Amino acid sequence: MNLQDEVNIRRTFAIISHPDAGKTTLTEKLLKLSNQIRTAGTVKGKKTGKFATSDWMEIEKQRGISVTSSVMNFPYEGYQINILDTPGHEDFSEDTYRTLTAVDCVVMIIDATKGIETQTIKLFKVCRMRGIPIFTFFNKLDREGREPFELLEEIEQVLDIGTYPMNWPAGMGKRFLGVFDREQEQFVQYNGEEKETPIPYKDLENAEHQDVVSDPAYQEAAEELELLEEAGDTFSLDAVLAGKQTPVFFGSALAPFGVETFFNTFISMAPAPHLRKSTEGPIPPDKTDFSGFIFKIQANMNPAHRDRIAFLRVCSGKFERGMSVRLARTNKAIKLAQSQQFVASSGNTVEEAYAGDIIGIYDPGIYQIGDTLVTGKDHFEYEELPQFPPELFKKVTAKNVMKTKQFRKGIQQLVQEGAIQLFYRDQTESFILGAVGELQYDVFKYRMKNEYHVDVMLDPIGERVPRWLKQDQVDKSLFDERNMLVRDREGNYLVLFQNDFALRWFQDKHPKIELIDLFEVN
């Protein structure tokens, strides 16, 4: 296959959902469909080691969650599928957000008995901001849930995106009869078991299907469908690919019902890897020179070692094991001898990879989040990864002052990796850590102890509103504990305002000082 063909068959996406919506169950079913696993229950059964791509075993054990995102890759019906997992726990981390920078689209699973939940909204906003196409799967139709129209309306209102139901459910819970497949023009009957019976619309008149057609759930859904055809939005693949309309599927990951239809339709509509912005303009995925960027660095993949693994999304060309690349930031040559690709069936080493693929490369401590790796003569870097607004701020100190040297080294390394955001206060020489979720502090504390042998203390300083200053407008006398003057990791000054009120008050008093919101999203 040539480069363009390799690119065209790739589908790289993340599944996002609120905890317990059914992400694991659906993922398992997808793996089963593609003959990657024979029995369900394997994905969560991390004890088998099969999917133990993360080693935060202790934290995972304590909290009962998967801390780090993992990657699965498998062939399906002529396609090459890459699924990036995102931790679905309440206190997720910046990694979760960053994973979204490495995918071409997302599947959003929503529990139909609950509707949209907070976690989904956060992740969704990032998708919207970046124009990532979103496909929606309403799960748990085998349970009594909320009305489909109500669910659609909620998506449109809360998430501000158009919807187009690809299928339409007849009944729910015990009355769940099946779905109208609008694309294939058939009614897919649910028999309470894995087998799905598709009945083409034209055959529904036949006597043998009268029990289906006369079912009140069918009748009701048929009416709703008519309404939808008349008054609902029309389908637009362009709008879907621009992230403005989401195709919606109804089904049950557990039954399973509608999963195969969903997956086939999804795969056929989901975008292959496309152009990526760089400092030298957009780079096409079939450019001959290899390039990619690092979106995540994970320490201690193997508990026996202190190795770090950098996750790289290939953006162009062909990756080959042992190839030499350049780190665009420093222009240094690196030989990528040790590469690992994360595969569902076994943790084999990858020999080659193309745009859309995710590879794990050994990191001797030279990479940073957002780094671009390239071959060839062209010099360019992919767009910087966005920083996400920290929602929590804590002051960090070493319990033992004798350990200051290791403490500083540890902080420096972990911040460089992108594990947590650092704000430094020069007047008091203190460090403040910003995070998106509580979990990032747990990981930080754990790693400081295990990798740098430093016990740390973390003191919350409340919610803060960060605003950057113009470097020629920094007047140290204006700030105090409430409105704290700090520097970010690049040394730029910013103020951590106590709250919005304090920010407005300050602005009124000092109208000439420009306060810049680097996290502003629109």
Under the binding rule (CB under 6 A), the answer on residue 253 touching ligand GDP is yes
Is 24 marked as binding a ligand?
yes
141 is in an annotated binding site: yes
> How many Å apart are CA 467 and CA 487, to the nearest integer?
11
Instruction: Look at phi and psi of residue 343 and say left if phi exceeds 0, alpha if psi is from -120 to 50, else beta.
Output: beta
Residue 167, annotated as binding a ligand: no
The amino acid occupying position 3 is: L
User: Of 55-63, 138-146, 192-200, 358-366, which segment contacts ligand GDP by CB under 6 A?
Assistant: 138-146
Q: Which is nearer to ligand GDP, 31 or 253 (CB)?
A: 253
Is position 146 an interface residue for ligand GDP (rule: CB under 6 A)? no
**Is 117 or 183 the residue whose CB approaches ligand GDP more closely?**
117
Backbone conformation region of residue 370, classed left if phi is above 0, alpha if psi is from -120 to 50, else beta:
left
Contacts 24+ apart (CB under 8 A), 185-192: 187/212, 187/218, 188/258, 188/261, 190/255, 190/257, 192/255
Is residue 19 a contact residue for ligand GDP (CB under 6 A)? yes
- Closer residue to ligand GDP (CB): 46 or 489: 46
**Size of site (CB under 6 A) for ligand GDP:** 17
Query: What is the smallest separation between the CB atom of 174 and ligand GDP, expressed in angstroms?
Result: 12
Please report whether residue 106 would count as binding ligand GDP according to CB under 6 A.
no
Transcribe 414-462 into DSSP letters: HHHHTSSEEEEETTTTEEEEEESSHHHHHHHHHHHHHHH---EEEEE--
Cβ count near 479 (within 10 Å): 20
Residue 18 annotated as lining a ligand binding site: yes
Is 169 annotated in some ligand binding site? no
Supply the minimum distance, in Å, between the C-beta of residue 254 and ligand GDP. Answer: 3
302 is in an annotated binding site: no
Of 252 and 498, the one with the shorter C-beta distance to ligand GDP is 252
Separation of alpha carbons 443 and 420, rounded Å: 9
Using an 8 Å Cβ cutoff, are 301 and 53 in contact?
yes
Nearer residue to ligand GDP within complex by CB, 117 or 320: 117
Picking from 146, 2, 94, the residue whose alpha carbon sits closest to that of residue 386 is: 94
372 is in an annotated binding site: no
The answer to whether 243 is annotated as binding is no
**Binds ligand GDP by CB under 6 A, chosen from 53, 69, 186, 252:** 252
The smaller minimum CB distance to ligand GDP, of residues 20 and 459, is found at: 20
Q: According to the annotation, is 133 in a ligand binding site?
A: no
21 versus 30: smaller Cβ distance to ligand GDP: 21
The answer to whether 22 contacts ligand GDP (rule: CB under 6 A) is yes
| Dihedral angle sign, alpha carbons of residues 32, 36, 40, 44 | negative
Residue 29 binds ligand GDP (CB under 6 A): no
Residue 25 contacts ligand GDP per CB under 6 A: yes
Query: How many degrees, rounded to 5, is the angle at CA 463 between CA 458 and CA 466?
Result: 105
The end-to-end CA distance of the chain, in Å, is 41
Distance between CA atoms of residues 506 and 512, nearest Å: 11
- What span, in angstroms and rounded, lies between the C-alpha atoms of 243 and 4? 24
Q: Give yes or no for residue 68 binding ligand GDP (CB under 6 A).
A: no
Q: Is 179 in the site for ligand GDP (CB under 6 A)?
A: no
The Cα–Cα gap between 86 and 59 comes to 17
113 is in an annotated binding site: no
Q: How far is the CB of 100 from ligand GDP (least distance, A)?
A: 17
21 binds ligand GDP (CB under 6 A): yes
CA distance 408 to 403: 9
Interacting stretch for ligand GDP, rule CB under 6 A, among 14-22, 196-204, 287-295, 349-357? 14-22
- Among residues 22 and 165, whose Cβ is nearest to ligand GDP? 22
> Look-up: residue for tokens 């943790």?
347
* Stretch of 136-144, 229-237, 262-270, 511-519 contacting ligand GDP, by CB under 6 A: 136-144
Nearer to ligand GDP, 252 or 421 (CB): 252
From the centroid of its chain, how far is CA 326? Answer: 27
CA distances from 230 to 227, 250, 512 (A): 5, 20, 56
If one asks whether residue 142 binds ligand GDP (CB under 6 A), the answer comes out as yes
Residues engaged in binding ligand GDP (CB under 6 A): 17, 19-25, 88, 139-140, 142-143, 252-255
Per the annotation, binding residues are 17-24, 85-89, 139-142
Per the annotation, binding residues for GTP are 17-24, 85-89, 139-142
